[in-house]
A and B are shown apart, each in its own frame.
Chain A
Amino acid sequence: MTFQDLLIGLERFWAAQGCVIAQPYDVEVGAGTMHPATFLRALGPEPWRAAYVQPSRRPADARYGQNPNRLYQHYQYQVILKPSPDDVQDLYIESLRTVGVRPRDHDLRFLEDNWEWPTGGAWGVGWQVFLDGQEISQFTYFQQVGGLDLPLVSAELTYGTERIAQFIQRKASVFDLEWRSGITYGEIRRQEEVEHSAHAFAAADVATLRALFDAYDREGRRLLEEGLVLPAYEQLLKCSHVFNLLDARGAVGVADRASLLGRCRVIARGCAERYLAQRESLDWPLLRRETHATGA
Chain B
Amino acid sequence: MPPERKRGRARLVFEIGCEELPPSAAWDGSRQLRELAGPALDEARIDAGGVRVYSTPRRLALIVEDVALHRRDLVRDVRGPAVRAAFAAGGVPTPAAEGFARSQGVDVASLERRTTPQGEYVYAVRREAGGESAAALGALLPALAGRLSFPRAMRWGAGTIRFSRPVRWIVALLGGEVISCEFAGVAAGRETAGHRTLHPGRPAVPSAEEYERALRAARVMVDPDERRRRIAAGVRRAARTAGGRPILDADLLEETVQLVEWPTALAGRFDTAFLALPPEILVTVMQHHQKYFAVEDDRGTLLPAFVALRNGGTRGLDGVREGNEWVLRARLSDARFFFDEDRKRSLEAFLQKLEDVVFLEPLGTMGDKRRRLETLAGWLHTALSLDDVKAGQLRRAAHLSKADLVTAMVREFPELQGVMGGIYSRLGGDPESVPIAQAISEQYLPRGNVLPKSDLGAYLALIDKIDTLVGAISVGLEPSGSQDPYGLRRAGQGIVAVMLDREIRLTAGGFVNAALDAYAVDDDQQRQRVRDRVEDMLWQRLRTILLEEGISYDTVDCVNGWRHDPVDAAARARALWAFRRQSEFARLHTAFDRAARIVPRDFEGEFHANGLVHPAERSLFNKFTSTTPLVHSAVTNGRYGEALRILSSLAGPVDEFFKDVLVMADDETVKNNRLALLKNITGLVCQVADLTHIVVPEGKPVRDSQA
Contact = CB atoms under 8 A, between A and B. Distances in A.
A109 B329 CA distance: 20
Given A85-B157, A110-B20, A105 B327 contact: no
B319 A111 contact: no
Contact of B324 (A114, A125, A133, A141): A133
Nearest to A254: B358
Contact of A133 (B154, B328, B365): B328
A173 to B, nearest CB: 10
Interface residues of B, number: 43
A131 interface: yes
Interface in A219-245: none
Nearest to B264: A107
Contact of A253 (B152, B157, B333, B356): B356
A254 B158 contact: no
Contact of B365 (A83, A109, A114, A254): A254
A132 B328 CA distance: 11
A83 B157 contact: yes
A85 B706 CA distance: 58
Interface in B322-358: 322-324, 326-330, 333, 356-358
A143 B160 CA distance: 11
Contacts of B155: 141, 143, 150, 153
A105 B315 contact: yes
B580 interface: no
Given A83-B157, A141-B154, A110 B19 contact: yes
Contacts of A278: none
A103 B320 CA distance: 11
Given A152-B158, A167-B323, A254 B357 contact: yes
Interface stretch (B119-127, B241-249, B306-314, B670-678): B306-314
Contacts of A167: 323
Contacts of A68: 330, 333
Interface in A60-112: 68-69, 83-86, 89, 93, 103-112
Contact of B20 (A124, A127, A133): A127
Interface in B1-51: 19-20, 22-23
A124 B22 CA distance: 14
Given A103-B196, A141-B166, A254-B365, A112 B22 contact: yes
Interface string B350-383: 0000001110010001000000000000000000
Interface string B237-267: 0000000000000000000000100000000
Given A134-B323, A134-B327, A254-B356, A106 B316 contact: yes
Contacts of B622: none
A106 B311 contact: no
A108 B356 contact: no
B327 A133 contact: yes
A151 interface: yes
B155 to A, nearest CB: 5
B308 A133 contact: yes
A172 interface: yes
Contact of B198 (A104, A111, A124): A104
Contacts of B327: 132-134
Interface string A248-266: 0000011000100000000
Query: Which range holds the interface residue count of chain A?
Result: 35 or more
A69 B330 contact: yes
Chain A at the B interface: SS class: mixed
A109 B156 CA distance: 20
B301 interface: no
Contacts of B357: 254
A112 B24 CA distance: 10
Contacts of B365: 254
A131 to B, nearest CB: 7
A83 to B, nearest CB: 4
A103 B329 CA distance: 23
B168 interface: yes
Nearest to B308: A133
A167 B320 CA distance: 11
B290 interface: yes
A109 B290 CA distance: 12
B197 interface: yes
Interface string A140-174: 01010000001111010000000000010000100
Contacts of B326: 134, 172
B130 to A, nearest CB: 37
Interface centre among A112, A153, A258 (most CB of B within 10 A): A112
Given A83-B157, A114-B152, A106 B319 contact: yes
Contacts of B358: 254
A153 B319 contact: no
Contacts of A84: 156-157, 166
A104 B155 CA distance: 30
A153 B311 contact: no
A129 B357 CA distance: 32
A37 to B, nearest CB: 20
A107 B152 CA distance: 27
Contacts of A86: 157, 166, 168
Nearest to B58: A110
A125 B152 contact: yes
B197 A103 contact: yes
B19 A89 contact: yes
Interface centre among A93, A107, A108, A172 (most CB of B within 10 A): A107
A108 B311 contact: yes
Contacts of A110: 19-20, 57
A187 to B, nearest CB: 22
Interface of B: 19-20, 22-23, 57, 152, 154-159, 165-166, 168, 196-198, 259, 290, 292, 308, 310-312, 315-316, 319-320, 322-324, 326-330, 333, 356-358, 361, 365
8 contacts: A84-B157, A86-B157, A105-B315, A106-B323, A109-B259, A112-B23, A153-B155, A153-B158
Given A93-B196, A133-B308, A152-B157, 11 more contacts: A84-B156, A86-B168, A103-B196, A105-B316, A106-B320, A108-B196, A108-B197, A132-B324, A141-B154, A141-B155, A167-B323
A-B complex: 4 closest residue pairs judged by Cβ atoms: A132-B323, A105-B316, A112-B22, A110-B20
